[in-house]
Structure 1
Amino acid sequence: MKASYFIGLLALLSGFACQAETTPAPPLAPGYAALPYQLAAPASYTLPVIGAAGDGEILTSDNQPKRLHDLMGDKVVLLSFIYATCSDVNGCPLATQVLHKISRQLQKQPELAAKLRLLTLSFNPSNDTPEMMRHYGAGFKTGDFDWRFLTTRDEHTLQPILDAYQQNVQKIYDDKGQFTGTFSHLLRVYLIDTDKNIRNIYNVDFLHADTVINDVKTLLIDHKPEAAQPVAGERLYQAGDNKQNYQQADYQTRSLALEHRQGKPAKLIEFANKPPLGLPKLPQPKDNPLTSAKIELGRKLFYDRRLSFNNTFSCAICHIPEQGFSSNEMATAVGIEGRSVRRNSPSLYNVGYAQLLFHDGRENSLEQQVWGPLLAHNEMGNPSIGYVVDKIKASADYRGWFEKAFNKGPTMETIGQALASYQRTLNSADSPFDRWYFGKQSQALSDAAQRGFKLFTGKAACSSCHSIGEKTALFTDQKRHNTGIGYADSMQKAPEKQRVQVAPGVFVDVDNKSLQGVAEAKANDLGYYEISQNPTDRWAYKTPSLRNVALSAPYMHNGSLASLKQVVAFYNQGGVANENLSPLIKPLGLSAAEIDDLVAFLQALNGSNVETLVSDAFAAPVGDSQ
């Protein structure tokens, strides 16, 4: 083990006695001393998302290959880049020493320590082998604290990670052109939340153990799922059971108990009559103008499980308010009695602007569309329109509701109009993008998201289908396109065995023949061709709006892409070639850093009123199935 591994730390402990008497000691970074000011209380401030945390192939100190993202998601992460032989006291030794202080402090706070992971990644893989990093880490790790020391296979593997974090590293050469073994770089430590988003970047002037711990506490409070009441700034609205890292044996549920889902009714008609910044005037059918009475009735119907055949299934069970009015927990929907549905639950945000409904665009009005799932055998399972109408007529708690809204009782027409009226109020915009682009607020959008917007409208050409106007943006061209997703899903050969997860971290490889007896055969999906019978429409699906898209994973009509990063990577490769592939789909040539910037832009499309709409949903009545 090289003595230079500890040169930075030894220098600190010895007061820099190794320096020549004529060379003044460099001024120490603030991270070595006590803070000269009192910190603000945790959660009294916010840490906005700066951008998505980059990924890449790494090696653990046990020489095990992993992805960097494998070490994120279940805990808050502090990521530092160092090289073990660095002797700049305000460089790598500073980062390691501050992290060492953090690990020592958290030994006295085990509950907090259990929620934080430190990652130290070398940018000198030729010297810092897994064994070297193991020895290096042994000098700093305190107790059983979760601190991983990582490296990469080679510089080629490392470079995409450095690019993703905009970590500029340059080798230093002597006057003979020989590598000196030292690097020029800017010290940066990244605070990453459990959604794999960067929430702060610390440099030499701001890196301090007390500040970092305060920020970690702020993030954990911001993500706390147990709070009973909606509080400004808290992320109460998320998947009922966030299955991130479900593949790991130490997975723990973060489900939000139903008794905590308390909400507050909102004046929904205002989101229709005065749409938030970035949305155009809402189109309303002449035969079904919006009224508060219709909206309130539609809201009651939307959350009523009695609208299904066996009184167990409401519209909201597939279009879950806190999951983007979609479903984050399943790639494709499941109807009554666990019946398989072949497509993903689309988000209902801004659905009142959609000219095409369902993934294949088979319907063109919400009043008509609502009857599709009500009558589908594998969704709500009702045998007929009359069955639904009669059930509502027989429900005492609906007495007078339809008369108030329509001056007549429940009919096929009024049920559809009421449900459509509620959905037309689910309008969400005034996002950071809207405030920056339409509101001209220069600081509303992060630098990464601004770069992403430039790519979105330029090199990546996303706006060719997800259009943006001069004064408003729906982020859809209201058309259908073949991207190759449907083609790949239909044409790929089924493997002989499928890997089935039976519990967190527990997988079983099952022969497909064994599954045939217990699972329904996967239905083929040809897109709009099933409606038009025109061969050119095979695997064509409508262009969805991208507003609030970060809330509605997984993506595509079949839920096959789990994250926005996977979506961008899919389009970056040019989709999947087939004879009907849209001419707009072609390889983009985006770098890893550009992909992250594009994702940052997409994450900046969440509307400012999301919590209001979800809180209103939590306050909605749920029909008594008894």
Structure 2
Amino acid sequence: MKIFIIFCILLAAANAIAQETKPLAPGYTALPFEPAKPGTYTLPIITQAADGEVLTSNNQTKHLHDLMGDKLVLLSFIYAACSDVNGCPLATQVLHKISRQLQKQPELADKLRLLTLSFNPTQDTPEMMRHYGEGFKTGDFDWQFLTTRDEAALQPILDGYQQNVQKVYDDKGQFTGTFSHLLRVYLIDKDKNVRNIYSVDFLHADTLINDVKTLLADAKPQAAVQAVSPEVLFQPGDNKQHYQQADYQTRSLALEQRRGQSANLLAFAQKPPLGLPKLPVPKDNQLTPAKIALGRKLFFDRRLSLNNTFSCAICHIPEQGFSNNEMTTAVGIEGRSVRRNSPSLYNVGYAQLLFHDGRENSLEQQAWGPLLAHNEMANPSIGYVVDKLKASADYRGLFEKAFGKGPTMETIGQALANYQRTLNSSDSAFDRWYFGKQKAALSEPARRGFALFTGKAACSACHVISDKSALFTDQKRHNTGIGYTESMQKAPEKQRVQVAPGVFVDVNSDNLKGLNTEKANDLGYYEISQIPVDRWAYKTPSLRNVALSAPYMHNGSLPTLAEVVKFYNQGGAANENLSPLLKPLGLSDRESADLVAFLEALNGGNVSTLVSDAFAAPVGDSGAIARPMPSTSQAR
């Protein structure tokens, strides 16, 4: 088999030379120049590596991300029957050269994994990929040949890596068994970031090995950030973890590392990831690429605020769970205090109640709440926002393309709703275990936590799981006692204030008055309904991606999932309107930890793709805004 495959490659190369149809790629020959020495250059982060379900040559189901993180990875896409000498054979030949060279460099060989994934799952079965790989693998080098169960499983992976692959048909419309594609090989670091993409003209074993050595020698601050959190994208840009300690050191994330890559957002709405049901979409606001792109632009545009400094994304920060990990309650324009925590927007398209108190029931209407709120984006009127967008040159024609008319109160809300309905994230470890029936997908502590979640702890009474999907919410409001406790608290005579790492001072509360706006008492849905039984009632949030959206509860008063479990373990906070579903649980320390482990297993498999897409969005040029001209009546 090995001799046969190598013979096929050589034959294809000979045919190419004989027919002079195309020159051989540089990867087949020695480099005509001296490559840069490892470590004398840098490889910036391009984007997050996409994930997806694959099959190994032993017919085992895995996720691509399961094969990343412990080593550097070179990922290539091929199909076994490819005859284009500068296509799949080139990628396989270059990787074969690399594997042979690294056999002589075991210190590198142990730190690199080659992944070759077929984009022809119909023909390239796991058995076929195993035979194909046997012809190229050298010694015990870690080179894995993968395929997928079908084209439906393959397509999200191709989309994630922007691999444009098309079947070739003959005159009669019959598939010829060949594909049209552009060769790309991806170098992926241990943080699952793509660091280089090699095309035909740049794919060469020598430069690739130098790039590998460069990454292994790279000791930039990024590595220090990674040591703090394995998901470097999913954290505050200026991480204040351990700030209370005197030996705290800054580990801020450089803005240059926030480079992203646009994603096919519509796909996450049309075919939600594993574990989510069909997305409900209003008939009068169907999803389209033009509407989604416009809503995405609006969401990240700071010009939608009164003074052009504040966007939706400043409270709903993509890398912080589309919430805000750094503040218990939100802060709006000019530092104006907001009473409540920024809720996560993941899977918000499924929410029947919006805002913490559930006072709105459609995303189209909800959008105008923060746009007009004095302590959020502070626009003085609907017309002010509409006129500002009409005066912005870079919005010219976008509303007309999406809606057939210019910006209005209706179309602005519809565009923002379109984007938010694509922020669907599931396919978590739990989903793969529970709905995908992958026995090894969920850890043993998380499995015990699930048993508690649906049993002794009774969390699923409100955070509902059905047989085919799970939104982890009953779409209702409940009084847990958090709001009651806050309302009944008296301000202490002194408050402890931190002024520097490890430095605290006690300040009289009277001296702090006037430094910021006093928060009005928060009575929950009662403020809307005026019905006493609704006092301190707030909606049940979804728990998907909950580990990414600390702090918790409507007022951000619980900083960690462990604190949340502790609060519910004691039965909430007693008051006359306390939900009858709450009662002391009697969980042991181990059971509490298992419950947290389950909650941490609810992070979606496509979070990195959504964050990367957000990083690629424009944020608006606040210096180039044309302010709306006042009408005659306004001038008077």
The two structures have a TM-score, normalised by structure 2, of: 0.63
Aligned counterpart in structure 2 of residue 328 of structure 1, from 315, 322, 325: 325
CA deviation profile, 1:148-206 (whole Å, cap 9, x unmatched): xxxxxxxxxxxxxxxxxxxxxxxxxxxxxxxxxxxxxxxxxxxxxxxxxxxxxxxxxxx
Work out which of the residue numbers 230, 246, 249 in structure 1 matches 2:243.
Answer: 246
Secondary structure, counterpart of 1:508 in structure 2: strand
- RMSD of aligned C-alpha atoms? 2.0
What is the rounded CA distance, in whole Å, between the counterparts of 1:314 and 1:408 in structure 2? 24
Q: Which residue in 2 is equivalent to 1:582?
A: 579
Hey, what's the Cα distance between the residues in 1 that align with 2:221 and 2:270?
A: 32
TM-superposed CA distance for 1:43, in Å, is: 3.4
Cα distance in 1 between the residues matched to 2:310 and 2:223: 29
Once residues 624 and 282 of structure 1 are traced to their aligned partners in structure 2, the CA distance between those partners, rounded to angstroms, is 34
The Cα shift of 1:273 comes to: 0.0
In structure 1, which of residues 488, 493, 514 is the aligned counterpart of residue 490 of structure 2? 493
Matched, 1:224 2:251: no
The amino acid across from 2:223 in the alignment is K
Which of 530, 533, 538 is the aligned partner of 1:536?
A: 533
CA distance in 2, matches of 1:283, 1:485: 31
Alpha-carbon separation, structure 1, partners of 2:272 and 2:382: 33
Distance 1:453 1:330 in 2: 29
1:2-401 equivalences under 5 Å are 43-44=70-71, 224=223, 235-401=232-398
CA contact (8 A) 2:337 2:516 kept: no
Corresponding residue of 1:613: 610
Would you say the 8 A contact 2:238–2:253 is kept in 1? Answer: yes
After TM superposition, the structure 1 stretch with the greater mean CA deviation from structure 2, 506-515 or 304-313, is 506-515
Whole-angstrom CA distance in 2 between matches of 1:281 and 1:502? 49
User: Map of 1:396-411 to 2, 5 A cutoff?
Assistant: 396-411=393-408
Q: 1:405 to 1:250 in 2, by over 3 A?
A: same
Kindly provide the CA deviation profile for residues 360-418 of structure 1, in whole angstroms up to 9, marking residues without a partner as x: 00000000000000000000000000000000000000001001000100000000000
- The separation in 2 between residues aligned to 1:521 and 1:503, in whole angstroms, is 24
Q: Which amino acid in 1 is paired with 2:325? A: N
Following superposition, the deviation at residue 221 of structure 1 comes to 10
How far 1:259 moved relative to its partner? 2.1
Per-residue CA distance 1:395-449 (angstroms, 9 max, x = gap)? 0000010010001000000000000000000000000000000000000000000
Residues in 2 aligned to 1:323 and 1:291: alpha-carbon distance in whole angstroms: 27
Answer whether contact 2:452 2:458 (CA < 8 A) is retained: yes
Contact 2:446 2:594 in 1 (8 A): yes
Q: Distance in 2 between matches of 1:282 and 1:615?
A: 22
Cα deviation per residue 1:293-349 (whole Å; 9 max; x = unaligned)?
000000000000000000000000000000000000000000000000010000000
Does the Cα contact within 8 Å between 2:225 and 2:232 map onto a contact in 1?
no
Q: Aligned pairs, how many? A: 411
Question: SS of the counterpart of 1:224?
Answer: helix
Question: Residues 221 and 234 of structure 1 are in contact (CA less than 8 Å); yes or no, is this contact kept in structure 2?
Answer: no
Give the deviation of 1:492 after TM superposition.
Answer: 1.2
Shift of 1:517: 2.8
Residue by residue, what CA displacement relative to the aligned partner does 1:494-547 show, whole Å, maximum 9, x if unpaired? Answer: 110111111211111111111113222121100000000000000000000000
Determine which of 500, 503, 510 is the counterpart of 2:500. 503
Aligned to 1:287, what secondary structure does the other structure show? helix
Residue 551 to residue 497, structure 1, CA distance change in 2 (3 Å): same
Matching residue of 1:431: 428
- CA distance in structure 1 between the aligned counterparts of 2:473 and 2:578, rounded to whole angstroms: 18
Counterparts in 2 of 1:309 and 1:597: CA distance versus 1, 3 Å: same
SS at structure 1 position matched to 2:485: helix
TM-score w.r.t. the length of structure 1 is 0.64
For structure 2, the 5+ residue unaligned runs are: 1-66, 74-215, 624-636
Matched letter for residue 447 of structure 1: E
**Structure 2 residue aligned with 1:140:** none
The residue type paired with residue 515 of structure 1 is L
- Structure 1 unaligned regions, length at least 5: 1-39, 47-216, 228-232
C-alpha distance after superposition, 1:583-614 (max 9, x if no partner): 00110000000000000000000000000000
The superposition leaves residues 129-150 of structure 1 with CA deviations (integer Å, 9 ceiling, x where unpaired) of xxxxxxxxxxxxxxxxxxxxxx
Tell me, in whole angstroms, the C-alpha distance in 2 between the residues paired with 1:234 and 1:493: 39
Partner letter of residue 498 of structure 2? Q
Q: 2:563: which partner in 1?
A: 566
Post-superposition Cα deviations, 1:91-115, rounded to whole Å, max 9, x if no partner, equal xxxxxxxxxxxxxxxxxxxxxxxxx
Distance in 1, matches of 2:232 and 2:71, equals 15
The change in CA–CA distance for 1:326 and 1:390 in structure 2 (over 3 A counts) is same
Q: Distance in 2 between matches of 1:571 and 1:45?
A: 42
Aligned residues of 1:43 and 1:222 also touching (Cα < 8 A): no
Q: Is the Cα contact below 8 Å between 1:224 and 1:235 reproduced in 2?
A: no
- The secondary structure found in structure 1 opposite 2:283 is coil
Q: Is the 1:327–1:553 Cα contact (8 Å) retained in structure 2?
A: yes
Distance 1:574 1:614, change over 3 A: same
In structure 2, how many angstroms separate the alpha carbons of the residues matched to 1:519 and 1:237? 30
Are the aligned partners of 2:465 and 2:471 in contact in 1 as well (CA < 8 Å)? yes
1:489 to 1:223, Cα distance in 2 relative to 1, 3 A: farther
CA contact (8 A) 1:290 1:421 kept: yes
Question: Could you tell me the percent identity over the aligned residues?
Answer: 79
